[in-house]
Structure 1
Amino acid sequence: MKLRTSLLLAGLVAGLAAPAFAEGGDPEAGEKVFRKCKACHMIGPDAQNRVGPILTGVVGRPVGSEEGFSYSEAFQEKHAEGAVWDEEMLHSYLTDPKAFIPGNKMAFAGLRKPEDIDNVIAYIETFQ
């Protein structure tokens, strides 16, 4: 009984310590989800700004800071606040871009499935 209780407790602790976002994402599945983003964004060593900014290295980058891209006033305000794209912020933004940063110009409605968001973040993180 003691071993069983210890295993249960260890499982609970491991579950609480598990990250809530892209750590569990699948980059290969995320590459497929990213196809929805490709109309406006590029990623990778030869990426260029398009309708949306380059997403190479976006995780850990200050919001609204990709050189050569003209950001909306809403993104400029987030930048002035010192916001940084981390996994949690990307998760919130990709769920509902218009609600998370009101006034931004991104036409994309967001991703509805949390696993799609985890996967696309995991894919994006492969381009750090």
Structure 2
Amino acid sequence: MTKFIYAAAAALLATPAFADGHAATGDAAAGEEQFNRQCVACHIVADADGEVLAGRNARTGPNLYAVAGRQIGSVEDFRYGDSIVEVGEMNDGTVWTEELFIGYVQDPTGWLRETLDNNRARGKMAYRVRDEEEALNIYAYLATFGAEEAESN
């Protein structure tokens, strides 16, 4: 029983938590593995100085640094599709939460159509993360980058 308590405590301490409700519940270590399998072909994680922290200098998708808590569709100089920008501008700036991220990466165009209540909405991201747990883990991994920026948003 003691091992279980220690394991649970370690898991809670390892999970990034944000004061504004952008907590990540997945396994960041497993998320790193999934990011390297599923995301690196299109995305990087690069800090404000341009240092690539994860990925292989891909530029197809936006930089995912500080994605947790960041306004959707707001990476400067990235050419987003109109639908994702529209979602980001809703409610004076909709931000990525774990729930929104999971919904989006599992079915980008379907999520956009449902969110915008517009069957003509389209996403530029064609790839889908099929497994919800993998999507949760990827979000947990990405939430470890730029946590201090997300807390100030």
Q: Is residue 2:107 matched to residue 1:96?
A: yes
Q: Is residue 2:132 matched to residue 1:114?
A: yes
| Rg comparison, structure with higher value | 1
The structure where strand makes up a greater share of residues is: 2
Partner amino acid, structure 2, of 1:83: T
1:56 aligns with one of 41, 65, 75: 65
Identity across matched positions, percent: 40
Partner amino acid, structure 2, of 1:117: A
How has the CA–CA distance of structure 1 residues 113 and 22 changed in structure 2, closer, same or farther, with 3 Å as cutoff? farther
Regions of 4+ moved over 6 Å? none
Distance across 2 between alignment mates of 1:40 and 1:86: 21
Count of matched residue pairs: 107
2:97 aligns with: 86
CA RMSD, aligned part only?
A: 2.0
1:49–1:69 contact (8 Å) kept in structure 2: no
TM-score (norm 2): 0.64
TM-score (norm 1): 0.75
User: Structure 1: which 5+ runs fail to align?
Assistant: 1-20
2:35–2:138 contact (8 Å) kept in structure 1: yes
Post-superposition shift, 1:49? 7.1
